[in-house]
Chains A and B, each alone.
Chain A
């Protein structure tokens, strides 16, 4: 949305401290990509067994890029990097990207800075689905996914569909109706979750673990199922940047700008729900990423969705891969705790210190 004004007009723009970045979303993207590579390499090299960075890079080059030459590293290093850590790092990046882009979409769509990917029932639907799976005496799987992941995915999508359908019948203005319906349905599902937890007895710990989020169970199969969903959903979302920008002005004005508002909103909401469902099904309920990352990106490059959506995905990936690394180092903390413990103070710092044209 960068207007790219003529020189005479541009001169009148008051320069802010981060003006340089705002003019150059590509520079922000370059910083983000560099951070992504660094966090990725750190995630592969560090852990209970540390692998020298040189070996890590050589293993990747050798196996993934078919780099010639005989291995000079222990076979166990290769197994750890390729079979244990790489899928985990990739999954954390994919889930972080999903939460970042879904959060940015829903904040814009609902015109609400407090919105996050979970606001329209996806989290409570997924949690209830996962809890039911824990309680069911079944061992079913599909495509390498457990019953918990399947029911969480389904639960998220059923919940958001329910919210959408019910809100259309509400008498309130469509956005308020959508938010309040989301809140009501979420509360109802949360009550269901509470019942499941109350009845769960010894399995309570499994449900709590899901609620806090983790990548400890990451596998290549999960990467293979979740990543395409997130990639395709995220890509289509990023291509809907223009309608999302128009919706910032409200329904009526968006319609005046040529938008089929109801259709666009349904499409954007459906895509955001899809990538969120893929994220929560694989990793559990990881908070804070989808709320905060879009705000940080907005502070840097402004609210234009053409920049906001891809950069929210990028920085979501960096943030969550980093948080998972921190969660893993002391011996498997739930990553949802780390995102909050690390993210909240950082966000507060940012709110205090950053002075740009884009105050929150």
Chain B
């Protein structure tokens, strides 16, 4: 069970503020989408939660423990981050990429143990990658690679999954596949999920709770019908919300 609490979180790149006074609580088992226009601070928020943002202010607690008091490795065992894309410099099999997710669990002096093998196999099955395990991960399509990165994060076996625009380069079929997978992981496996999304329709359709950022500030937080109400979408994104297809 992982409970994430942010109080007055701020982050600046030089003089430019990226996040201003963000407070937010995510309870264990929730599924939350973070939306907002480009430059709203979505990725910065993710970086703060992942503990890789330098110079963050305010407090972030994971199950009541301040993030900065956790060792990086401990954090990696409890919270997994799915990056947008990863460039792989060498040929590497899908199963080997997923196995990298076991790094925070492994003794540096020993090879993979039964528990590691089990976790890798489970993650591969969960994401449906069995037909691809022996392939070079660099030869896969963007959609397949996104699934590999999700499997890698699942192999970490943390209770909390953070995703950075997991559908950004994907075609419609893969977008739906990833969204359905996230829903299953949340509802069936009980993972807490926080996903940065750029697509408001996907956020509204697949996430019971949406957090809206604008100019580094949290401007709305709640079920999509309220958080993504037409007036707010118009104010935040500067577009006529009628242009968007009606959410599912």
Interface centre among B80, B87, B100, by most A CB within 10 Å?
B100
Q: Count CB-based A-B contacts (< 8 Å).
A: 138
> A256 in the interface, Cβ–Cβ < 8 Å?
yes
If over half of A's interface residues share one DSSP class (helix, strand or loop), that class is named, otherwise mixed; here it is loop
User: Do A5 and B89 touch (CB < 8 A)?
Assistant: no
Of B50, B117, B135, the contact of A256 (CB 8 Å cutoff): B50
For window 94-123 of B, CB contacts with A under 8 Å fall at 95-101, 103-104, 106, 108-109, 111-112, 117-118, 120-121
Please report the C-alpha to C-alpha distance between residue A256 and residue B50 in the assembled complex, in whole angstroms.
7
User: Do B117 and A12 touch (CB < 8 A)?
Assistant: no
* Closest residue of A by beta carbon distance from B118: A6
Of A5, A250, A260, A303, the contact of B90 (CB 8 Å cutoff): A303
* Closest residue of B by beta carbon distance from A306: B111
User: Contacts A5-B124, A258-B73 known; A359 to B99 CB distance under 8 Å?
Assistant: no
For window 63-80 of B, CB contacts with A under 8 Å fall at 71-77, 80
User: Do B117 and A3 touch (CB < 8 A)?
Assistant: yes
* Closest residue of A by beta carbon distance from B119: A3
> A239 in the interface, Cβ–Cβ < 8 Å?
yes
What residues of A have a CB within 8 angstroms of the CB of B71 in the complex? 258
Render A98-129 as a binary contact track against B, CB cut-off 8 A, 1 for contact: 00000000011001110000000000000000
User: Do B112 and A2 touch (CB < 8 A)?
Assistant: yes
Please report the C-alpha to C-alpha distance between residue A107 and residue B88 in the assembled complex, in whole angstroms.
12
Question: 9 A–B contact pairs at CB < 8 A?
Answer: A1-B96, A9-B130, A242-B106, A248-B100, A257-B103, A258-B77, A259-B103, A298-B91, A303-B91
**Contact surface of B with A, Cβ cutoff 8 Å:** 50-52, 71-77, 80-81, 83, 86-93, 95-101, 103-104, 106, 108-109, 111-112, 117-118, 120-121, 124-125, 130-131, 133-136, 156
Contacts A2-B96, A242-B106 given; 9 further ones with Cβ under 8 A?
A3-B112, A4-B117, A13-B95, A113-B90, A241-B108, A248-B100, A249-B97, A359-B91, A360-B90
